[in-house]
């Protein structure tokens, strides 16, 4: 079959708008159209930023299907279907493929930590049940598990494992991945403050929280770099660095969902255990949003 590139540029890790009945589909449609109008290169639905871990399976899969249908092939739709329960993740992944997802994002197990062989097996269970491309998701600050080089080596034989979302924040490790496997896996930054550094070692773009509020600018950081305009890309990354940092002043997605509400997108509340921002932090975020012309 051969390895398939899913996207280059910026994929938004889109929030899930909620209301008292569940998903607010009108608000969701507005977000999707805002993203596509402003040059987003792909949409990741039901990832960390989408609060997938607080969504029942039916709602989770309905959200994926809704985004697939509304996007209607205008950009790739990548479904977050990873789980700390391997069998559960397999079921979600198989169903997401049936509902039209273009690719899957698979996180390492969280809480149920395993060893290297167990991690390889965890991913293989899903790999062997789906045909669409898979992005591995490395975010050890949340899961306390790192996708090490031996795991990447073991999974390199599978054609449908095409990329890694590298959110360790460890540029030395990311550079090792690029050195050893850059010709085998596409690398996407999982940190908005490291888009340019990761692209400098061969990364193809970012799976972004920032893109929820600044999709065109996040796309531009990546596209400028891909077009060889490295200084312009770097300058835009640095210009937005304060906002990037303020979007993580509390745990994601608390600040970005707050930001979207401040912008008038009416994405609703966060699901427990996530909670509304501290007023002092909200003021810091709002000040920077004003400086960036968002409110």
Q: Does residue 165 carry a catalytic annotation?
A: yes
The answer to whether residues 268 and 18 touch, using CB atoms and an 8 Å cutoff, is: yes
Measured in residues, the chain has a length of 295
Q: Does residue 282 carry a catalytic annotation?
A: no
Decide the pairing of beta strands 103-107 and 22-23: unpaired
The answer to whether residues 247 and 259 touch, using CB atoms and an 8 Å cutoff, is: yes
Selection from 135, 207, 146 nearest residue 174 by Cα: 146
Buried b (16+ CB within 10 A) or exposed e, 2-36: ebeebbbbbbbbbbbbbeeeebbeebbebbbebbb
Cα 144 from Cα 37, distance rounded (Å):
37
Choice among 4, 21, 117, 165 that is catalytic: 165
Choice among 137, 185, 188, 225 that is catalytic: 137
Cα 250 from Cα 181, distance rounded (Å):
33
Q: What is the CA radius of gyration of the chain?
A: 18
The answer to whether residues 160 and 131 touch, using CB atoms and an 8 Å cutoff, is: yes
Cα 106 from Cα 94, distance rounded (Å):
12
Residues with a known catalytic role: 137, 165
């Amino acid at each position: 079959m051969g390895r398939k590139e899913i996207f280059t540029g910026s994929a938004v890790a889109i929030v899930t708008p909620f209301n008292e009945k569940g998903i607010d589909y009108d608000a969701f449609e507005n977000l999707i159209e805002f993203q596509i109008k402003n040059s987003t290169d792909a949409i990741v639905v039901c990832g960390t930023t989408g609060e997938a871990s607080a969504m029942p399976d039916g709602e989770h899969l309905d959200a994926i299907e809704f985004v697939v249908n509304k996007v209607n092939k205008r950009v790739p739709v990548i479904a977050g279907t990873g789980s700390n329960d391997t069998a559960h993740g397999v079921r979600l992944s198989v169903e997401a493929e049936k509902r039209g997802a273009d690719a899957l994002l698979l996180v390492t197990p969280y809480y149920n930590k395993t060893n290297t062989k167990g991690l390889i097996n965890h991913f293989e269970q899903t790999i062997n049940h789906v045909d669409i491309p898979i992005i591995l998701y490395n975010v050890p600050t949340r899961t306390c598990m790192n996708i090490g080089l031996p795991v990447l080596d073991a999974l390199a034989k599978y054609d449908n494992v095409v990329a890694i979302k590298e959110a360790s924040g460890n540029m030395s490790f990311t550079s090792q991945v690029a050195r050893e496997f850059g010709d085998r896996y596409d690398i996407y930054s999982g940190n908005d403050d490291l888009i340019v550094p990761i692209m400098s070692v061969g990364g193809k773009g970012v799976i972004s929280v920032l893109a929820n509020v600044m999709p065109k600018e996040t796309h531009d950081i990546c596209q400028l770099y891909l077009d060889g305009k490295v200084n312009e890309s770097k300058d835009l990354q640095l210009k937005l660095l304060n906002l990037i940092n303020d979007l993580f002043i509390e745990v994601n997605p608390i600040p970005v969902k707050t930001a979207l509400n401040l912008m008038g997108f009416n994405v609703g509340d966060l699901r427990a255990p996530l909670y509304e921002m501290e007023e002092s932090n909200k003021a810091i975020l709002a000040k920077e949003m004003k400086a960036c012309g968002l409110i």
